[in-house]
Amino acid sequence: MAVSRPTAAVGSAAGPISFCPSACSLVSSAFDAKKLTFCGRLEPLGDRRVFLRHLAPARKADWCVYAKPPFAGPEQVLAYVARYTHRVAISNNRLLDIDEGKVRFHWRDYRNGNRQKTMTLAADEFIRRFLLHVLPEGFQRIRYYGFLANRYREQKLARCRQLLAMPQPEPPDDQLAGDYRDQYHELTGASLTECPACQRGRMVIIEVLKPAKPCRPIYDTS
């Protein structure tokens, strides 16, 4: 759903639809009912006067909604959006080659029988398309709870499968593709583990240094 100016269409009906007053009223009612929680930088909005002052510009704006039914129905839209709710836009194993400023990768053509194809893009265009899937500041991807929570998901899912007498799943493609350092070597020809001095020794991690605490700046008041 996109927001546009001042005319709008919903289904087959066309005309201006002003939703801002009712939407702002609902938000204000939720605030009064203490259903809104403000954390971090938004914490000052917990004060009613600050909140109403923040909401005032939205009340004055002439907002209209433009909406229309999707061509293939809501199921297609849901299926498309669902692919990006909890994972990145492209996995490492789909990257085939990086050469002369171009990236070659696999993609799946859902309009042509779900067939796998190969595409080559300039590096800057590839990065631009990838960044389209990066959430804006303040948004979060879906987080799992219960037996799907990240901390104990592997153990609890294994227990669930044991209780249901289900077979263990096959490892995902990312694990079959190997370590990220091996993939980097395949794509670039450079090794992340080879000693840069002698080109024969193998680099190993012996210690991970934690970042030092930032020092408070000392201001010169002279």
Locate 95 and state its tokens. 């990257």
Last residue of a domain, one of 66, 82, 113: 66
More confident residue, 96 or 142: 96
Say what the pLDDT of residue 176 is.
Answer: 54
Residue 14 pLDDT grade (very low, low, confident, very high; cuts 50, 70, 90): very low
Residue among 68, 71, 61, 47 nearest 19 (CA): 61
Instruction: Please name every residue paired with 95 in a beta bridge, in sequence order, or none if there are none.
Output: 105
160, part of any domain: no
Average pLDDT over the chain reads 77
Last residue of a domain, one of 131, 155, 174: 131
Q: 157 in helix, strand or coil?
A: helix
Asked whether the beta carbons of 212 and 204 are under 8 A apart, the reply is: no
Question: Does 61 share its domain with 103?
Answer: no
Say what the pLDDT of residue 216 is.
Answer: 63
81, part of any domain: yes
Say what the pLDDT of residue 91 is.
Answer: 81
50, part of any domain: yes
Range of the domain at 27: 2-66
Distance of CA 217 to the CA centre of its chain: 35
Question: Does 49 share its domain with 86?
Answer: no
